[in-house]
Structure 1
């Protein structure tokens, strides 16, 4: 399989998607006290309707999943949408938010190794060199914090779920397109969260939402879910999950920029250093290059291909609820 190219045009959708995710920190913060499962169920249900309407207007074709495709799509919903939110909420009860954010910052490394494995090719040396740089920059931007053993476990789960959100989409993106993967993963998550909400929070949970929280749900449903998901998966399909993974570094950059604009304070020297490191990593990992012949493999993976590691829309340093 040929290594996907990574022209700026192909990377742009993912860059915009990650910027939307990172810039939603203030909006996400308004939902801290809202019933988790019910609120997210409404968000994903609304996003499903929005995507169906847009797909109808644009002529995007949506296919019915078949066979194992249901497992991959359900995997995205369970891990990347449902469990990720649970891991973040439960994790911050045992660890400072920065700890969860630092774990999620490791995603470029995981995607740089595991993504090409699923795409049946060798990892890109360029991405493997750049991923730790992007990760280090994100850690500097996010900061660090205290935790206990349980907090570490939740942080590792958040990392696995964040990576799974992209990796589980790889086998179904070609047939279902970014539109189909987004629609099916989102409606499946909406059903799961609605069931959890009914059992854990009760049918009266919707009445607890304030007007501001309803507005936040609408914003997240439209921009951080419906729009950002399609943009992200468009780049994953065009450029490959490894290169796309580097773009996750844009989220903390956007979060830091929004924090400065909204008056949360001027970034500290360590944050400025992290921003510089992040930008260097992104430039180094995403610059156009010729693909060496030895990096391209056939339909079967090379025996030397690194196996995927065992596991992988907030205030700054808090992972945004997807």
Structure 2
């Protein structure tokens, strides 16, 4: 199967989604002293309600998963939402935050190799050449740090979870659409995190959330989850996970920009160099090649019929 190219219009949603994720770093700092699992459970439950409402307003039909779709969507929620949060928290106990950020920066290469295989096509040589460039640029922006062997293991898990958030959506994107995948990921992830929160932090943990905590969680639920998820999966469905994976390099650029604006000071020379390297990698990996970009999501299920079954119940 031919490797699809990516038009700029198809990339815009994913770019916007990564900007929202990267730009949320200042808001995320407000939640450092909040109970992790409880806060994230509230975030994803709220995001589910927002997504269902927005989907109805947009005329998008939501359907219940069936058969193996439950495995893909549960795996997506477990890795991309639940284990990712656990791995980050446990990882920074053994490694500097920059080490975890570097692990996330490796996602473009994983997505560039594994994503096309799930989509039953050959990896794009253009993407495979550009992915290491984006990775190096992101590492320069984030910096490096010290770690031990346990920290390396947690960082590897973070990388796997980051990739799983995109790769496990590929087989179900065609039938469920970006709206459906986002809704099912958030309610499943919210349920898992609620159980973890009640077990590890206690049901009373929600009372520990202050006004700033609620405001930050609401921001994350609306923009960093509900909006960003739909934007991201829209680009993944349109151009494929390999091309979309390069856009993860935008997140550290947005974080650096927001940090400079909010008082972290002028970025270091290495950060400016990293920004330039990321932009070179994005330009090289995403430039059009004159080949139309068909919608490729769900190629792994060619026999999947179009008609949907029971609609998802809201609330």
Quote the offset at 1:265 in angstroms. 1.2
Q: Secondary structure at the match of 1:95?
A: coil
CA contact (8 A) 1:21 1:251 kept: yes
Which residue is equivalent to 1:98?
Answer: 98
Corresponding residue for residue 200 of structure 2: 200
Offset from partner CA, 1:294-316 (integer Å, 9 cap, x none): xx9xx89xxxxxxxxxxxxxxxx
Q: Structure 1: how far apart are the matches of 2:129 and 2:248?
A: 16
Q: How far did residue 19 of structure 1 move? A: 0.2
Task: Name 2:113's counterpart in structure 1.
Answer: 113
Question: What's the counterpart of residue 242 of structure 1?
Answer: 242
1:19 paired residue number = 19
Q: In structure 2, what is the equivalent of residue 77 of structure 1?
A: 77
Taking the aligned partners of 2:52 and 2:234, their CA distance within structure 1 comes to 17
**CA offsets, 1:225-278, max 9 Å, x none?**
000000000000001000000000000000000000001011111111000000
Q: What is the CA distance between 1:5 and its match in structure 2?
A: 3.5
Measured in 1, the distance between the counterparts of 2:291 and 2:123 equals 11
Instruction: Say whether 1:45 aligns with 2:66.
Output: no
- Pairing 1:188–2:188 present: yes
Could you say what secondary structure the match of 1:144 adopts? coil
Does residue 30 (structure 1) correspond to residue 30 (structure 2)? The answer is: yes
Q: TM-score, normalised by structure 2?
A: 0.92
Distance 1:131 1:119 in 2: 18
Question: Partner of 1:271 in structure 2?
Answer: 271
Does structure 2 retain, via aligned residues, the 8 Å contact 1:5–1:238? no
Distance across 1 between alignment mates of 2:177 and 2:158: 26
Aligned residues: 295
- 8 Å contact kept, 1:60–1:179: yes
User: Matches of 1:143 and 1:159 in 2, distance apart?
Assistant: 17
Give per-residue Cα distances to partners, 1:98-135, cap 9 Å, x unaligned: 00000110000000000000000000010001000000
CA contact (8 A) 1:20 1:223 kept: yes
Match of 1:312 in 2: none
Give the conservation status (yes or no) of the 8 Å contact 2:31–2:216. yes
Contact residue 131 and residue 281 of structure 1 kept, 8 A: yes
* 1:1-322 → structure 2 map (5 Å cutoff): 1-291=1-291
Q: Secondary structure at the match of 2:263?
A: coil
Report the Cα distance in structure 2 between the residues aligned to 1:277 and 1:212, rounded to whole angstroms.
36
Provide the C-alpha distance between the structure 2 equivalents of 1:120 and 1:290, rounded to a whole number of angstroms: 21
Equivalent residues of 1:19, 1:251 under 8 A apart? yes
Displacement of 1:2: 4.4
1: CA distance between counterparts of 2:245 and 2:91?
A: 23
**How far, CA to CA, are the matches of 1:53 and 1:106 in structure 2?**
35
Mapped to 2, the partners of 1:112 and 1:26 lie a distance apart of 30
Mind listing any 5+ residue stretches in structure 1 that lack a counterpart?
A: 301-322
How big is each residue's C-alpha offset from its partner over 1:54-90, in whole Å with a ceiling of 9 and x where there is no partner?
A: 1111111111100000000001100000000000000
SS at match of 2:34: coil
What secondary structure sits across from 1:263 in the alignment? helix
Q: CA deviation at 1:3?
A: 3.0
SS at match of 2:19: helix
Task: Check conservation: 1:4, 1:238, Cα contact below 8 A.
Answer: no
**Alpha-carbon distance in structure 2 between the residues aligned to 1:56 and 1:272:** 43
User: Post-superposition shift, 1:191?
Assistant: 0.5
Is the partner of 2:147 in helix, strand or coil? coil
Distance 1:284 1:178 in 2: 27
